[in-house]
A and B are shown apart, each in its own frame.
Chain A
Amino acid sequence: MHSSAVFLIEFGAIILGLGLLGRLAGRLKFSPIPLYLLAGLAFGTGGLLPLGASEEFVAIGAEIGVILLLLMLGLEYTATDLVSNLKTQYRAGLVDAALNALPGAAMALLLGWGPVAAVVLAGVTWISSSGVIAKVLGDLGRLGNRETPVVLSILVLEDLSMAVYLPIVTALLAGVGLAAGSATLAIALGVAGLVLFLALRYGRLISRFVSSDDPEKLLLVVLGLTLLVAGIAQQLQVSAAVGAFLVGIALSGEAAEGAHHLLSPLRDLFAAVFFVFFGLHTDPASIPPVLLPALALAVVTAGTKIATGYWAAKRAGISAKGRWRAGGTLVARGEFSIVIAGLAVTAGIEPSLGPLATAYVLILVVVGPLTARYTEPVATRLTARLRGTAPAAAAAPPREEMLDPVEDGTPDRV
């Protein structure tokens, strides 16, 4: 009964459902990611409506979704961005990794899941969601704030770390030994280094090769190149996602600009499919047992992210209020935690890992924007109370009041 009609009906229903959910998320002004995950949970294994015909296609779509997510991430940054951030901010990156990856690893070991799951869960709790955070910064009108570059450089370093971390996870999940694993890592680091070097030296040439005035050709060239490199990377055990990320880094200037523009809708489509796919493979019944660990992990790692942001902003000479804002902004986890957990789910290690990651991300993708908004006023009040003085300004007054008074006369008609 695997006729194309059944496939079209199923797949069409999924995409339409996602579209409606996306509209709902827009109405509620928050990220659609949790809704997509929930939609995936609702269908598939142990859900309301097990899918049949479209399962395979959704799996491939999910794969493409991950590749496009990382390609677009790479397009956001230039090689110069990455290298200069690495030089100036590597300490913040290390503190961020230590504070936020360790709780995840510790939790996996506490639950008795073994070292491989510990490495995976460490990644899930470590990487903040650059997509959610960039949107929150824009919505809260904080793009111009002095702590914003600090927040962004931490995100850049995390994304760059993914290029090293993903190959390690891929190798561990494939169950290779130490020697093969080290070789993989060496290849990954070598390739990443080479691409950065090429992008810095010959970025213009690469972009010129790809660049085209005709959107159709540009789309085909960039997409083809990305999938090809991703496939080769996968074959070398470096992880397809990293290959795509490096292609994004190598493209700069006009080509990157155009590709970004063209691929955004594709990315949105396939990334949504990816989140659904992840939900499909998670049995809703398996979530309640891991809810408590997920909640504990969310509370701890929200705290550690706030600490990370506070510390990094302090190093950059930002005042106390800005430090709290930087910390609160970094809390959101999202797409990349799911990408990392997705690798583990497809490899079929610890069965509770997927549900835990799902619950964890669902909590933090919703809480993240809230901590971004409220950490600073709450912290300012608490610290004032601890010092035993009345808070100077109770919570943030309406922003307009802080501007200079404007003469309220009727404007001159010219």
Chain B
Amino acid sequence: MSSTPLPGIGVRYDLTTREDRRLSVVAQRDGTRVLNAYRRDDPDECALSVKLTAPEAEALIDALMPAHHSPSLLSTTDLGLVAERVELSSTSYWCGRHLGDTRMRTETGVSIVAVLRRADAIPSPGPDFRLAGGDTLIVIGTREGVDAAAAILGRE
């Protein structure tokens, strides 16, 4: 991935695929993105140039994610359950404390099914698991429970 500044407009990110096709994304300052694919007979010009609003770009990123999280995880809403990621800030009260100290299940009824730390995921962390700033907790429960859990974890 290389980038070229476009003064007054934004930045262009370029990618050349293994099959030698070129793609680029122009990131404009107002949050819109333009996705470009290049012509084969004139590699300087775009054959396709699609404007994407911020939400459209996000939807596309989701579809492009190689580790695409199984949709079933998030489509449990009809059962009244939701799964959410809650990030722990580096200034959180819980940094360095045990997961058990949060008394999460007792207080809110939610389960913490995994903790994402940097590049790895720690499945089913026990009550003696030590939390650290920057951890992302995958929380499953009712809507109210998950919101309450986020409030507890947000304690500074």
Q: Does A321 contact B (CB under 8 A)?
A: yes
Select A77's contact among B8, B24, B44, beta carbons within 8 Å.
B8
Asked if B44 and A402 make an inter-chain contact with CB atoms under 8 angstroms apart, the answer reads: no
Which of B37, B38, B40, B44 has the most CB atoms of chain A within a 10 A radius of its CB?
A: B44
Interface string of B1-15 (1 = CB under 8 A from A): 000111111001000
Identify whether the interface residues of A are mostly helix, strand, loop, or mixed.
helix
Q: Which residues of A contact B26 (CB under 8 A)?
A: 143-144
Question: Among the listed stretches A112-120, A152-160, A227-235, A357-365, which one makes contact with chain B, having 4 or more residues with CB under 8 Å of it?
Answer: A152-160
A134 touches B8 (CB 8 A): yes
Interfacial chain A residues near B47, Cβ < 8 Å: 399-400, 402-403
Is the Cβ of B44 less than 8 Å from the Cβ of A322? yes
Decide: A142 and B49 in contact? CB cutoff 8 A: yes
CB distance from B11 to the nearest CB of A (A): 10
Partner of B41, one of A138, A325, A402: A402
In the bound complex, do residue B44 and residue A156 qualify as a contact, i.e. CB atoms below 8 Å apart?
Answer: no
Docked-complex contact B7 and A156, CB < 8 angstroms: yes
A143 close to B39 (CB less than 8 A): no
B22 CB to closest chain A CB, in angstroms? 9
A199 to chain B, nearest CB (A): 14
Chain B, interface SS category:
strand
Closest chain A residue to B38, Cβ basis: A144
Q: Tell me the residues in window 90-106 of chain A with beta carbons closer than 8 Å to chain B beta carbons.
A: none
- Nearest residue in B to A146 (C-beta to C-beta)? B44
**8 Å CB contact of A76 from B5, B7, B43:** B7
Within 8 A of B (CB), among A205-253: none
Asked if A393 lies at the interface with its beta carbon under 8 angstroms from chain B, I say yes
Q: CB-CB < 8 A to B7: which residues of A?
A: 76-77, 81, 85, 152-153, 155-156
**Measured between alpha carbons, how far is A111 from B46 in the docked complex, in Å?**
45
Distance, CA A403 to CA B49, complexed state (A): 11
Contacting residues, chain A, for B44 (C-beta < 8 A) = 145-147, 318-319, 321-322, 325
Instruction: List, in ascending order, chain A residues with CB within 8 A of B58's CB.
Output: none
For A148, what are the chain B residues with a Cβ–Cβ distance below 8 Å?
6, 12
> Which of A134, A257, A321 lies in contact with B42, CB distance below 8 A?
A321
Closest partner residue, chain A, to B5 (CB atom): A81
Q: From residue 349 to 397 of chain A, which have CB atoms closer than 8 A to chain B?
A: 392-393
CB–CB B8/A399 < 8 A:
no
Q: Which residues of A contact B (CB under 8 A)?
A: 76-77, 81, 84-85, 130, 134, 137-138, 141-149, 152-153, 155-156, 257, 260, 318-319, 321-322, 325, 392-393, 399-400, 402-403
Q: Known contacts A143-B36, A145-B44, A322-B45; can you find 12 more A-B pairs with CB under 8 A?
A: A137-B9, A138-B51, A143-B12, A143-B34, A143-B49, A144-B49, A147-B44, A321-B44, A322-B42, A399-B46, A402-B41, A403-B48
Task: List 8 interface pairs A-B (beta carbons < 8 Å), by A numbering.
Answer: A76-B8, A77-B8, A134-B8, A134-B9, A142-B46, A143-B49, A155-B8, A260-B29
Where the two chains meet, the residues of B that have a C-beta atom closer than 8 Å to any C-beta of A are 4-9, 12, 24-26, 28-29, 34, 36-49, 51
